[in-house]
């Protein structure tokens, strides 16, 4: 039983949505989704600021494929499979750096930043028909960026990135437009491993339901310091949304503070003038609703399948690299405006690490929640079902799980090689008891 829709029971008549847990506990399902989901979609690789200058490079693992990205001396950013065309050795052996040329350590074939083979020892020994241009570094068939976020695809037929991102672009804009001169990844990253299926982290990233039970320690800490003041402004968008193609987001005022463009008592009187100045610039630049959203709401978004962008206590890029059905590597970076330095940057990094850093208030608790689910899947012989039906039939104000169902519906469609269903309006169930906003 590997087909997507056989594992995802989506009963619009009865208001039942449940996922068979073998979707997360079966190695065979994982092998199928590598091929049918990950090898068909766009996959995030890295941020433009990681290759800011010609020669900059970074290395990244994507589903067991070692890749590296570099900006050539011509200013173009390219993505290569990290394997030598000669005998296959790893060409780029450092995680990041700057190099005009990449010399393979095995026999010293040397490539420039465009991937061309530029020198090799004893070239004369190869004879007249040896053609260097046939021995260049190669890369994935598609590599495109949206506002500094670079994605690759193993699928030459994939739709253009711009079309694939659909409604997610608006939310990337809300993040990137907070800067005057673009965003940059703050130096360094957090790397950790979670003993759980990768989809559990996607679900968790847009799951407002778990916030109070799992993160109450943090909320109590923030409120104890006088922070987390909310405006209750009815104009602010609240709740989950589907963004098309399986991308989903939750947005709203959070019970914690962001040191970005709204002062909160938590940050102290000393920071007030500076934060108000950032706020004034944003309100002076954008229309009122967009400015309010940038300053006063948070966003947690999954770009299907495995990129999470959190614009919460700080802005975080989380890249999920599944390595087995029950294990994933997570890389996380803080994103900040290029112009941000000094106290502003220190406030952001402090806020980032306090909540979503690997030793922050949130991440260890979330990791335990995910790993406990994965352990729990083994408790029942046939693994059983997970329920994701909240709000399918009757919707308490702002509280439903349509965003998770949209993620799973996209996953099931990819697994069955059928089109992803369009964005659905709420409530999905034909026998709905209570209507609500979409
Ligand atoms: S394997 Fe790279 S030069 Fe031989
Ligand atoms: Fe959480």
pTM: 0.95
324-381 pLDDT per residue, tens: 999 999 999 999 999 999 999 999 999 888 888 888 888 999 999 999 999 999 998 8
Residue-averaged pLDDT of the chain: 92
175-211 pLDDT per residue, tens: 999 999 999 999 889 999 999 999 999 999 999 889 8
What pLDDT does 326 receive?
97
When pLDDT is cut at 50, 70 and 90, the band that residue 434 belongs to is low
- Coil vs helix vs strand at 386: strand
330 Cβ below 6 A of ligand 1 = no
* C-alpha distances out from residue 8 to 58, 387, 390, 403, Å: 38, 10, 15, 15
106 Cβ below 6 A of ligand 1 = yes
356 Cβ below 6 A of ligand 1 = no
365-403 pLDDT per residue, tens: 999 999 999 999 999 888 899 999 998 887 666 578 999
* Number of other CB atoms surrounding residue 21 within 10 Å: 21
Identify the nearest ligand to the CA of 308 by its number: 2
Cα 204 to ligand 2 centre (Å): 6
Cα–Cα nearest to 309, from 374, 248, 228, 392: 248
Q: To test the ligand 1 pocket, which listed residue (89, 90, 132) has its Cβ within 8 A of the most ligand atoms?
A: 89
- Coil vs helix vs strand at 112: strand
Mean pLDDT of 293-318: 95
Mean pLDDT of 131-142: 96
What pLDDT does 266 receive?
85
| Closest C-alpha to ligand 1, atom 1 | 87
State the Cα–Cα distance between residues 397 and 212, nearest whole angstrom: 17
What pLDDT does 304 receive?
98
State the Cα–Cα distance between residues 328 and 205, nearest whole angstrom: 15
State yes or no: cis peptide before 305, omega within 30 of 0: yes
84 Cβ below 6 A of ligand 1 = yes
CA-CA-CA-CA dihedral for 283, 289, 294, 298, to nearest 10: 150
Q: Which residue has the higher pLDDT, 175 or 229?
A: 175
Check whether 430 has a pLDDT greater than 90: no
What pLDDT does 227 receive?
84
Under a CB-based contact definition with an 8 Å cutoff, are residues 204 and 369 in contact? yes
Q: Which of 7-21, 145-159, 214-228 has the lowest average pLDDT? A: 214-228
3-class SS shares of the chain: helix, strand, coil, % to 5? 35, 25, 40
Check whether 438 has a pLDDT greater than 80: no
What pLDDT does 412 receive?
97
Under a CB-based contact definition with an 8 Å cutoff, are residues 96 and 58 in contact? yes
What pLDDT does 436 receive?
43
State the Cα–Cα distance between residues 41 and 139, nearest whole angstrom: 16
78-94 pLDDT per residue, tens: 999 999 999 999 999 99
When pLDDT is cut at 50, 70 and 90, the band that residue 432 belongs to is low
């Amino acid at each position: 039983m590997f087909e997507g829709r056989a594992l995802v029971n989506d009963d619009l008549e009865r208001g039942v949505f449940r996922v068979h847990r073998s979707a997360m506990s079966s190695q065979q399902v994982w092998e199928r989704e590598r091929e049918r989901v990950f090898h068909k979609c766009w996959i995030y690789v890295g941020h433009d600021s990681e290759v800011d200058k010609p020669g900059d490079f970074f290395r990244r693992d994507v589903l067991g494929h070692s890749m590296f990205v570099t900006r050539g001396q011509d200013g173009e950013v390219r993505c290569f499979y990290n394997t030598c065309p000669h005998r296959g050795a790893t060409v780029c052996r450092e995680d990041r750096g700057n190099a005009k040329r990449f010399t393979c350590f095995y026999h010293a074939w040397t490539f420039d930043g465009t991937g061309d083979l530029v020198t090799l020892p004893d070239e004369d020994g190869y004879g007249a028909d040896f053609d260097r241009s046939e021995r260049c570094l190669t890369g994935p068939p598609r590599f495109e960026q949206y506002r500094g976020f670079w994605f690759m695809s193993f699928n030459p037929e994939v739709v253009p990135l711009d079309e694939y991102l659909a409604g997610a672009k608006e939310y990337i804009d809300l993040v990137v437009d907070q800067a005057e001169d673009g965003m940059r990844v703050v130096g360094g990253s957090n790397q950790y491993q979670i003993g759980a299926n990768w989809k559990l982290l996607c679900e968790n990233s847009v799951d407002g339901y778990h916030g109070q039970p799992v993160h109450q320690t943090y909320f109590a800490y923030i409120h104890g310091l006088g922070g987390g003041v909310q405006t209750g402004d009815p104009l602010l968008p609240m709740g989950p949304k589907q963004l098309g193609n399986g991308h989903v987001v939750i947005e709203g005022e959070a019970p914690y503070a962001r040191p970005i463009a709204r002062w909160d008592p938590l940050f102290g009187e000393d920071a007030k003038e500076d934060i108000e100045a950032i706020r004034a610039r944003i309100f002076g630049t954008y229309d009122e609703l967009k400015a309010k959203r940038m300053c006063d709401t948070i966003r947690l978004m999954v770009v299907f399948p495995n990129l999470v962008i959190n614009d919460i206590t700080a802005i975080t890029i989380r890249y999920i690299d599944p390595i087995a059905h029950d294990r994933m590597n997570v890389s996380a970076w803080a994103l900040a405006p290029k112009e941000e330095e000094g106290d502003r940057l220190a406030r952001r990094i402090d806020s980032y690490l306090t909540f979503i850093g690997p030793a922050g208030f949130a991440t260890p608790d979330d990791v335990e929640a995910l790993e406990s689910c994965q352990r729990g899947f083994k408790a029942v012989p046939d693994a059983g079902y997970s329920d994701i039906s909240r709000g399918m039939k009757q919707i308490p104000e702002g509280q439903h799980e349509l965003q998770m169902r949209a993620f799973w519906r996209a996953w099931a469609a990819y697994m069955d090689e059928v089109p992803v269903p369009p964005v659905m309006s709420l409530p999905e169930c034909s026998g709905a008891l209570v209507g609500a906003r979409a």
